[in-house]
Amino acid sequence: MNYRGSVKRVWLAITILLSVASVVVISSPKIFPYSPDSASTIQKIVHHINWRIRFYFAKAVGGVPELSWLEVAQGTWPGQHLRGTWPGSGFITDSMIREGRSLNASVVNPLNDAKGLFDGKELFQTNCAGCHGHDARGGGHAPSLVTSNYSVGASDFALYKMLRDGIPGTAMQSLGLSVRERWEIVAFLRSLSRETDDAHRTIELPHVDVSWDMLKAARNLTDSWLVYSGGLDGWRHSPLREISPLNVSHLKLLWLHQFAGSREDSFEATPLVSSKTIFMTEPPNSVVAINAENGREIWRHTHPLPTDLPVCCGRVNRGVALLGGTLFVGTLDAHMLAIDAASGGVKWEVEVASPKDGFSITVAPLIVKNMVIVGVSGGEFGIRGFLAAYDAATGKEVWRFYTIPGPAEFGSESWKNNAWRSGGGPTWITGSYDPDLDLLYWGVGNPSPNYTSEVRPGDNLFTNSVVALNATTGKRAWHFQFTPHDEHDWDSNQTPVLADLMMDGVSRKVICWANRNGFYYVLDRADGTFLRGAPYVKVTWASGLDVHGRPILTSAAKVTKSGTLTWPWVGGGTNWLPPSFDQTTQTFLVHATEGSSIFTQSDGNEVRRGAGGLYVGSGSSAADVAVNVVKALDAASGALKWQHALPNANPEFSGTYSGILSTEGGVMFTTYAGTIFALEMATGRELWRAGLGGKTQATPISFTLNGAQVVAVTAGQALFLFGL
């Protein structure tokens, strides 16, 4: 039996019958005239059916020999094996029939998006890099593909055919890829052509001059993102309103910058933006300047790192600070660098602490007046944590505040048996600053060792606390401890949100804080007085908070050797991922996690420093599958306004999620499981999503570029810029 002939006859019969029916309808322009700009819904539906029928007919009578019937089906049928929805799916457009164009003119890549490019790069490395090189710049037997014009032609279809058929007379053979895989590689090749187009342009070094007054006003600036949290108050709220619930679904990828780092390293950095230049860190040890208009790298500085660094939780960095024309960055070997923003050259470098003592730096520094404030990591290595301020011009240390008090210092009575020497108290998330009070607010992490607390009796100040310091002197003004004598690794390394709220009819200057321990707090930011507190996730370790904000413990609070089941889980109600605050609606937005863990401890006399200096006492295990939920809380009370459970859109990247960006346009952005989501701020309704093809642990930012609002986000090993 001639199978191919039978299939051909079936297609011919179907298309003839449907063509006769459709011609009756379409042939009368008075009834169904078609114009893409003015057509009604029924006219569009009829048109999209009709041109496909006519295309099938052309194929059935021997036309379109360049495509197989399978490719015809996938090229014209909406959603068939390719992403997209009616009527824009497939890769063949109606212009071939409507305007008589050739295939080279009417075929477009349906996967020319962020995910297609990412997957295409992976496929290229597997199938093509052996000849063309991992950077696609060619080798001894294959040409460079970093070009705008190829020998086979420059159209999408020409590149597709090259991958499908190979090039006769050359070593380029058919690769045996699927239709989808061919288009993904075409997407990657197109990104290379954009790269070479940019390479012919003159590199203009950025001219950056950011004053202290600009940093104080950063939250209200639209064409930049000058501070880790968008402003000194920790809001992460953009004043931009061009992107709204009405048009956010029209967001498209403007460009993608592909980094060359290891997939094992996670991007957690918040980019800074000034003078149309994006400044960010690339893990583990680079600072990069990127042209915001085209995504092209301007310069890069890479800091040499020693081996065997004390890093508990990945080789990460959360960003840079900016003052004048200088960037400031901490490094995994606990140094701080001042880098020229125009050229990437190092102005000065200081050692903040020694890695041999368990220290590293992952935090984005904070500028306060003429000082650079930096914290340290190392809570799992038995450090004595601190904050330090350095003169921005010279690198000279101005002050240092230890988060673990020594003998005779305030709070030293909360430590016994010299446990303060290795008490922990890391400061690895950027704080906030109130210029009117000249107070610096910073969260402090876990006591060391984790879990097994009998070796460190007492409340263990200032761990799991917020400390308010006089920014000029570094002296403690006040503190508030969220979780005294922590046994669950519930760091208070969260971003302090400084707000003015109406409480009991009175306007109060407060700090809002969704803590890892599962409780939401409101404190007076002038003196630290506890004002309100309520759980925002399921909590079993405490029945509530007393009038001073101290937790009222339950039996689930005590960690045992055999294990105690406790909510929230070890990752907490939230972790370090930044929240967002909308002053207009007085709404606090937090990316929360609902889940539980079984916590265990060791005998006190069994707690020893482990490999690499790790100093922990047993650990925990997840008792159930944690659920990621965006929650909108009334900022004054902590009452839930709405919540939205985020779908695990890509299980390969589950467990990776970011903080929240809110905007004056009524749209908020966050990420989870390799996907960026836009939600309506008033209701939590999902408005838009885009797959990013990589781990998502960096919070989006927004700014204007040439007058138009854009959204930038990092995922996997790439930086994405979206716009309308």
The catalytic residues are 489
The Cα 519–Cα 155 span in angstroms is 57
Asked if residues 255 and 292 have their Cβ atoms less than 8 Å apart, the reply is no
φ and ψ at 687, to 5 degrees? -110, -30
CA 423 to chain centre: 31
Q: How many residues does the chain have?
A: 724
Name beta bridge partners: 92: 107
Neighbours of 545 (CB within 10 A): 18
Neighbours of 112 (CB within 10 A): 19
User: Angle at CA 67, nearest 5°, toward 77 and 166?
Assistant: 125
Asked if residues 535 and 517 have their Cβ atoms less than 8 Å apart, the reply is no
Listed residue (674, 625, 626, 678) closest to 650, CA to CA: 674
Give the single-character DSSP code of 648.
-
Rg of the Cα atoms in the chain:
29
Could you identify the residue written with the tokens 């036309």? 63
Name beta bridge partners: 469: 440, 476
Neighbours of 227 (CB within 10 A): 29
The Cα 145–Cα 123 span in angstroms is 15
Question: What are the tokens at 223?
Answer: 């064409």
Cβ-proximal residues to 722 (8 Å cutoff; 6+ apart), any chain: 251, 252, 253, 254, 676, 690, 710, 711, 712, 713
φ and ψ at 11, to 5 degrees? -60, -40
The Cα 10–Cα 56 span in angstroms is 11
The Cα 466–Cα 576 span in angstroms is 14
Question: What are the tokens at 561?
Answer: 């050797």
Question: What are the tokens at 190?
Answer: 């197109």
Neighbours of 444 (CB within 10 A): 32
Asked if residues 45 and 39 have their Cβ atoms less than 8 Å apart, the reply is no
User: Angle at CA 181, nearest 5°, toward 176 and 186?
Assistant: 110
Q: Return the half-sphere exposure (C-beta side, CA atoms, 13 A cut-off) of residue 601.
A: 20
Rama region for 52: left / alpha / beta (φ>0; ψ in -120 to 50; rest): alpha
